[in-house]
A and B are shown apart, each in its own frame.
Chain A
């Protein structure tokens, strides 16, 4: 065990892990986070807390994580390279760990162009691979990126994101390998809709033996409506929504669309469970956290193991 993370424990035990996420509020009231966290209690293993998601200012991920931690949940600190240079990032990692937060996800983050501060400086002192390396070195070498030693290094269970669908596709396995090499313990993927393509990617991952080095949590996002499906297809960078998904969503009555989306998510999880190398699921029910229990249940992932 590299860390005390519950996630690491579940994954190491060979059981399918389930994670989900909550977005912190655009204000100072912690109740929103707590409420969302409560919905997920006992349903998922670890709750990701996003970091200025879609480049919009929100309550900091670390603060929100701390609130969840107080509730006894297992939060995962998300951090992007967009807003902080390596000094600020390391400082926050130390701070988070001091609150008992031992999972983190290292990301580059959405470009500020899409957010509410398009005029903001785009820091990117490090990229996500360099970021992973830094966190790993902090944990395993006990060293800051600058080389100085850390007294009581943070033992973070380190996650990365992977998009199996972004172009160029042929590079996606190699890129996972780079992240793995840099220090990622697990990876949460982009929402999966194109299952054949995901399987193809997984095949590449397994062929390279990567599935033995890094845990792959398949990303699942239930569709609420055909409108959302189309939006994801056309507007969200790096998203691959095949036409038959849209067709399926369009084929049902409007008020039954949400239920169809849930069913589809459940079916996907069931199908992906069988795929070699899939170590768990990351269910991103954006502003729809209340539906996560249903999905997890219907997918046969309950009860969650206690480790």
Chain B
């Protein structure tokens, strides 16, 4: 899941300060699950913005709407009725959603209300952690299902470095040493021999090193 968190209110307020009618659009996918941009957060932000403007003596019309998914044109189309009545669109989706709105509604400023963070998993209620860096060349099969690219602070592919203590990364006791986890997992799987293999220098092209990436499924693409 893509995770995100709300930008500081001040930054959002500044970005929409010059508009009188704002269409605030949430997304019912990933950002709902990570409590950043679902109906509830849309409601909270609308309230907060409204109050901020009221405080400044300004009256702003905020229309709330939450789409099933902001990164699909068909869902985004749903907004066409509402966009006319707005001076700007404030999106509570990930960067993909924001860009999809901007692509579809070319004459409206589309502003992000969230900072898109990472692809992560939910550790427990209310806690999400980075799990995948989208590097385009998955090595999880030889690292015991734990990604050194996303989860090692130094992206070390032949770890661990010399800084880990008690299974924790040198940068913080709150961060697990990915290589410690990998090693434990490989041990449990009886695959410690996989560790001995030196992983070659990584080809970063699939990770975006070669520019924006596109996936085309020939059989599905029209």
* Interface residues of A, Cβ cutoff 8 Å to B: 81-82, 86, 108-111, 113-114, 122, 124-130, 133-134, 145, 161-163, 166-168, 170-171, 174-175, 177-178, 181-182, 190, 237-238
| Interface pair B162/A134, CB less than 8 Å apart | no
Query: A175–B157 Cα gap in the complex (Å)?
Result: 12
> Which of the residues A86, A128, A167, A182 comes within 8 Å of B156, measured between beta carbons?
A128
Contact present for B154 and A130 (CB under 8 Å) = no
B44 interface residue per 8 A CB criterion: no
Given A110-B170, A129-B199, A168-B180, list of 6 further CB < 8 A pairs?
A108-B156, A110-B163, A122-B153, A126-B201, A178-B198, A238-B165
- B138 at the A interface (CB under 8 A): no
- Would you call B103 an interface residue if the criterion is a C-beta within 8 Å of the partner chain's C-beta atoms? no
The reply to whether B164 and A166 form a contact with Cβ atoms under 8 Å apart is yes
- A126→B167 CA distance, assembly (Å): 23
Is B96 interfacial (CB 8 A cutoff)?
A: no
Q: Does the CB pair B162–A127 fall under 8 Å?
A: no
Set A114, A145, A161: member contacting B162, Cβ < 8 A: A161
Check if B158 is an interface residue, CB within 8 A of chain A.
yes
B120 at the interface (CB under 8 A from A): no
Instruction: Output the residue of B165, B177, B195, B196 with the most chain A CB within 10 A.
Output: B165
Residues of chain B at the chain A interface (Cβ within 8 Å): 153-167, 170-172, 177, 179-180, 183-184, 195-196, 198-202, 204
Please list the 9 inter-chain residue pairs (A to B) with the smallest Cβ-Cβ separation, ordered nearest first: A163-B162, A237-B170, A129-B158, A237-B163, A127-B156, A130-B201, A124-B155, A238-B162, A238-B163
User: Which residues on A sit within 8 Å (CB–CB) of B172?
Assistant: 113
21 of the cross-chain contacts (CB-CB < 8 Å) are A108-B161, A110-B170, A111-B163, A111-B170, A125-B201, A125-B202, A127-B156, A129-B199, A130-B158, A130-B198, A130-B199, A133-B198, A133-B200, A166-B164, A168-B184, A171-B160, A175-B158, A178-B158, A178-B198, A237-B165, A238-B170
Tell me whether A129 and B198 are in contact in the complex, defined as CB-CB below 8 angstroms, given that A108-B154, A111-B153 are known contacts. Answer: yes
Contact status of A167 and B196, CB under 8 A, knowing A111-B154, A113-B171, A237-B164? no
CB B103 to nearest CB in A, in angstroms, measures: 28
Could you say which residues of chain A place their CB within 8 Å of the CB of B201?
Answer: 86, 125-126, 130, 133-134, 145
Q: From residue B55, how far is it (CB to closest CB) to chain A in Å?
A: 32
**CB-defined contacts of A174 to chain B, threshold 8 Å:** 195-196
